[in-house]
Chain A
Amino acid sequence: MSTTPSPVPSTREAVIIGGNRIPFSRAGKKYVRTSNQDMFTAALEGLVARFGLQGERLGEVAGGAVLKHSKNFNLIRESVLGSSLAPTTPAYDVQQACATGLEAAIAVTNKIKLGQIESAIAGGTDTVSDAPIVVSDRLRAALLDANHAKTTGAKIKALLQVRPKDLAPATPGTGEPRTHLSMGEHQAVTTAKWGISREAQDEIAYNSHQNLARAWESGFFDDLVTPFKGLTRDDNMRPDTSLEKLAKLKPVFGTKLGETATMTAGNSTPLTDGASAVLFSSREWAEERDLPILAKFVDAETAAVDFVHGHEGLLMAPAAAVPRLLARNGLTLEDIDFFEIHEAFASTVLTTLAAWEDEEYCRTELGLDGAFGKIDRSKLNVNGSSLAAGHPFAATGGRIIATAAKLVAAKAAETGRPARALISVCAAGGLGAVAVVESV
């Protein structure tokens, strides 16, 4: 099933100059009535201001939103037009569920590596507070019929199909289209299969809040975040939470599985609003403008798993993507200084790590000779991740890339040796995107 990866063709480097995001906010709080375009434009504008890109024509801007209204067909281009970038900067929308931001970064850095563009911004935005509401299928069918009807009589007849209950709107959910299980329920099944304990999950959540709070206190995010709508820090962060408090929360997912439910609101990410953007370029482009270079965007890999019939867990694709990515780049887990594993749920991190430590799984599912390996937990999400910061789906990739780039730059400066970060993001649809970022 696995083929020997062909050597990575040599191209020029794509470097990370810096990132910017707005503070992430729990749904229904600070960013109510704030659109995806508002938020992404704010994140973009902050990045432009930080690096003096006013009036600059960039190679392109790519990004997207997972929950997107059909009127936002050119969301990113519209955001560019509302920013102080040159209006001649092209843009396009990307959507790969929670991997949207990282996938956008993969796309633009590949163009930079190939010499098609010199500079680019990748990012994403999502709002649950301002999510599009959809009319029911029956109402939609009736409205379309009426629209297509030629005569007034036919229009009226079409509209008479509508029944009162058809007027109820359909709100967006996180249910998988093929299984109708929510993402949390899917992960609860995976958690049960791997026997991940409640305590282990709460510990991941606790560390996430502690690490993020420490990073904020130490000023780590000062040049990564621009205040927005009166919010200066991520408002989901709970520096005062404790393992005892987390242990008291009632399980919310997997309560009907016949196994002890372990996933709570504390060890699952909340619905969040926010936006992020990251500036990439060729080395030459950055040097010409005297812009700092934090890191190289080395390589990336995407994967997908067969989850529909329960063969694999919905959020387990990164477990397959990472070994392929590292093998192609001649790296092992030992070569990684920072593991940035997106905390969709605390248990997603834990099932991924458990899979890599499982010899049988690695042999049969990943085609490896034995267990992929165990990571040093002190290198995991050292400045917090989605459990504490929140997870505005498409904005998470940009948040992580900027954090990872800054971490490796600081580490390399401190030790005088190259430092590497591994980024891993799971996504709906059984998808996953992973990348390696390395100091320059």
Chain B
Amino acid sequence: MTAPKTELTVPGAPASFDVTELAQLPKLGGLFAMGLAGSAGKRPKGAVRLPEVAYQVADVDTTGEAEHLAAYQRLLGEPSSEVLPAGFLHVLAFPLATAVMVRGDFPLPLLGMVHLKNTARVLRPVRLGEALTVRAWAQGARAHRRGVQVDLIAEVLVGRELAYQGVSTYLAKGFTAPDGAAPDGDAPREEWTAPLPTARWKLGSGTGRAYGAVSGDQNPIHTSSLGAKAFGFPRAIAHGMYTAARALAEVGPVRRGDTYEWTVEFFKPVLLPGTVDVAIRYAAEAVSTGTQGFVYEGWRSGKDSRHFRGTVTPL
């Protein structure tokens, strides 16, 4: 298994980008309303051109996040701690990334975009009560065999120190990559057979609503079966990041360490309710000797139908 390639190496938005300071993190509810309204108008026409803009919010006070963090930890199975898990930092920065995607000049529709993969790195532990700078932008529009894919980058800084980088790669089906962008070269899906499970997750019909409540991502495909049907799914689907965050929690703070990389690649969506068989294994045993950390995979119980795979690697 190879980890999804991480595009980000240098922190901060490219030099050519215009950095817009916002007074505070936007609220997701309003952004979704904008996204819903704006999505209809964003149709494939010509090559995709991303706005060269980054949003930044300084002095984000996390003191008031204690209850939110506790709710997140309870839902995902993270032990109670004042250190914010990578999944929580993703949730924290998500509204700012969403704000980029609902801009009028962002050419892809917020609703209907498919989350392909996610790579996050915690480079320094972030604690409850620390004041943070959060920034987000979009980059790397490139061809995918079914359209165009784009990276939404989110960063969290404590003081001037980069503490977290997240790269969320989304697919917009039917769109055309900008001229000159090299195709991603997605190989056809490899044959895959389910390994022996190490865990089994029974996900109830309320799983999407529960994660929606702690993440703010109330996308109707996750929260209601009617909403999911509107986008062509037979039932509501679990948030991919919920499954990845659960795997991260299961590895746990002791084994992932203070600084770590957490990746996930999504395949077939998890329909709710549903049972997901999971194998969360030592990378040294599952991949090759000497490999650090953990690899995880999830699939539909009893079927060779894979939902996700990823890694948790101490840095």
On A, residues with C-beta under 8 Å from B are: 178-181, 185, 189, 192-193, 255-258, 308-311
Contacts and interface: CB of A to CB of B under 8 A. Distances in A.
B270 to A, nearest CB: 15
Given A258-B304, A309-B282, A311-B282, A189 B199 contact: no
Nearest to A185: B200
B59 interface: no
Interface string B179-202: 000000000000001101111111
Contact of A309 (B200, B277, B294, B304): B294
Contacts, number: 47
Given A192-B196, A310-B279, A310-B281, 5 more contacts: A179-B198, A255-B302, A309-B281, A310-B285, A311-B282
Contacts of B282: 309, 311
B201 A180 contact: yes
Interface string B147-161: 000000000000000
Contacts of B302: 255-256, 258
Q: Which 5 A-B pairs have the closest CB atoms?
A: A256-B302, A310-B198, A179-B199, A189-B196, A181-B200
Interface residues of B, number: 20
Contacts of A192: 196
Contacts of A179: 198-200
Nearest to A182: B200
Contacts of A311: 281-282, 285
Contacts of A180: 199-202
A189 B197 contact: yes
Interface string B234-276: 0000000000000000100000000000000000000000000
Contacts of A189: 196-198
Contacts of A185: 197, 200
A180 B298 CA distance: 14
Given A178-B250, A311-B285, A256 B198 contact: no
- The SS class assigned to the A binding surface is loop
B280 interface: yes
B301 interface: yes
Contacts of B201: 180
Nearest to B304: A258
Contacts of A193: 196
A288 to B, nearest CB: 52
27 contacts: A178-B250, A179-B198, A180-B199, A180-B200, A180-B202, A181-B199, A181-B200, A185-B197, A185-B200, A189-B196, A189-B197, A189-B198, A192-B196, A255-B302, A257-B196, A258-B193, A258-B302, A258-B304, A308-B198, A308-B250, A309-B198, A309-B294, A310-B198, A310-B279, A310-B281, A311-B281, A311-B282
Contacts of B194: 258
A181 B196 CA distance: 12
Among A180, A185, A258, A311, the one with the most B-chain Cβ atoms within 10 Å of its Cβ is A258
A178 B196 contact: no
Contacts of A308: 198, 250, 280
A310 B199 CA distance: 9
B301 A256 contact: yes
Nearest to B77: A178
Contacts of B277: 256
Interface in B294-315: 294, 301-302, 304
A255 B200 CA distance: 13
A161 B3 CA distance: 43
Contacts of A309: 198, 280-282, 294
A185 B201 CA distance: 13
A310 B197 CA distance: 8
A181 B294 CA distance: 19
A179 B194 CA distance: 17
A256 B194 CA distance: 10
A192 B199 CA distance: 15
Interface string B109-149: 00000000000000000000000000000000000000000
A189 B198 CA distance: 8
A367 B202 CA distance: 38
Among A179, A193, A309, the one with the most B-chain Cβ atoms within 10 Å of its Cβ is A309
Contacts of A310: 196, 198, 279-281, 285
